[in-house]
Amino acid sequence: MRVVSLLFLAAAGIAVTLSATFAALAVAIYLLLAVATIAVVMVGDVLPPARLGRSRQILQVGVAMVVVTMLVALTGGVRSPFVAGYFLIVAAAALSSDDVAPTVLAVLSSLAYLVVAAVVPASSGMDAATVAWAVFNVAALALLAYIATVAGRQQRRAREAALRLARFDPLTGLYTRNYLNSSIEREISRAARTGRAFCLLMLDLDDLKMVNDTYGHPVGDRVIRAITEVIRRSVRETDLAARFGGDEFVVVLPETESGGALTVAAKLRVDIAALVLRVDTRTIRTSVSVGLVSYPEDGATLEQLMASVDAAMYESKRRGKNQIVGYVTRTQRVPTTDQAGAGHTADDGRADDDRRAAADRASADGPAIELTVADTGRAGPPSDRRVRYEPLSPQGSPGPRRVVSRPILPASGAGAPRTFRARAASPWGAFQPEPEIAERQGNGGGVGQRATDIDSVDEADRLR
């Protein structure tokens, strides 16, 4: 509207200058055009848009209507050549506003034009030709309002469709990779300002190619859509889930530490593993391999974070799939797991942990999942905690889990990984705190450490 108004005012000034028809009123017209130009600039460029809000557009339209009406009254009333200003207002409103605005402005313009025709008599009087001219202008305004409304609606629909394609994945309805990248950039800027960390999860479907080859791509699409629904149910409104590739998903968890991200990742992994899709008489089950990274420990830029979470996800694949693995910084090698369930690390001092891990995986109430995160940049002696989800019900039966944290002193400096091992069963159990758990031995000089129940993500982060 601002551009249309300024162009109309410039054209009116040139027309008055080149024509001798309005020489007697030239000063008044120039003054009107000057005041109108100042008003348009004030509303469009000087006054703060945030404070004006939607009233800014109303002010622009109001200024344009008043100026055109006064200009028509000064230059001949019903026969004025500047009646075209009303048409420009209606057309501009159709392109920049909703469907109702052109109709409303067409009615207001017609009323203003008829009032001027009644108040300012034409030089030839209201003869038949003048009346016909006025009726034609009013009808043309109505027709223009209709055409402009249809054209504006089509333009908005095309723009919205283009935005949907750029922002949302057509198969899943999740955000696209491009929108994900821009969102992570914004989250990095916000986290840098506030000092609050955030985490990324990358989920990759296990063996989707086998499903596609066996049952066909339509069934593979059903699997992807089912995974999408699990992700939607598991994340907060403030989180962002995107389809990163064919069978890869990324979840952004704002203001979330790695302990809270592990809780989300574990729930996603368990709920997805519990999915059952039936094709005729056959049953399809799937699982996901999950990588987890945290800002800024695992990357300070979009490229670094995506490289880290991708590496963590592929490490999860390498370990045997259906696991959660965090990116490890400052280490030459991360703990791995062979097919038999025996753990291996670069440090022989973690052998006891490996044997416990093998026993965990061999137990009846579900496979263990693990998250390994490097302990970097801490002041003082390095220390870690191992977080465990342990069943409150008898071993082997489903039931609620409690979260247990105990310190682990790494054997080799600040680069040693922090390992969180979670036992996951379906359905996911609620966290139920107990006042005390039996004492356990840490691996730092044989000093006994008391395990602590955790019933919230915040408490888990505090104990870490």
- What token pair was written down for 229? 């629904």
What count of other Cβ atoms lies within 10 Å of the Cβ of residue 233? Answer: 10
Q: Please say if 247 is a catalytic residue.
A: yes
CA atoms of 412 and 373, how far apart (whole Å): 14
Question: At 105, which amino acid appears?
Answer: L
To which residue do tokens 């409304």 refer? 149
Question: Which of 433, 300, 321, 262 lies closest to 377, judged by CA?
Answer: 300
CA atoms of 40 and 2, how far apart (whole Å): 7
Length of the chain: 464
Question: Which of 120, 418, 437, 16 lies closest to 257, judged by CA?
Answer: 418
CA atoms of 129 and 120, how far apart (whole Å): 16
CA atoms of 266 and 203, how far apart (whole Å): 11
Find the catalytic residue in 169, 247, 360, 365: 247
Radius of gyration of the chain (CA): 34
Q: Does the CA dihedral 182-184-189-193 come out positive or negative?
A: positive
CA atoms of 367 and 150, how far apart (whole Å): 59
Question: Which of 262, 277, 291 lies closest to 204, judged by CA?
Answer: 291
Give the DSSP H or E segment for 26: helix 26-41
To which residue do tokens 């310190």 refer? 407
- What token pair was written down for 50? 């945030």
- What token pair was written down for 14? 């040139």
b/e sequence 397-427, b meaning 16+ C-beta within 10 Å: eeeebbbbbbbbbbeeeeebbbbbbbbbbee
Which long-range contacts does 105-109 make (Cβ < 8 Å, 24+ apart)?
Answer: 105/61, 105/65, 105/145, 106/141, 106/142, 106/144, 106/145, 108/65, 109/65, 109/68, 109/141
DSSP letter at 45 equals: I
User: Which residues are catalytically annotated?
Assistant: 247
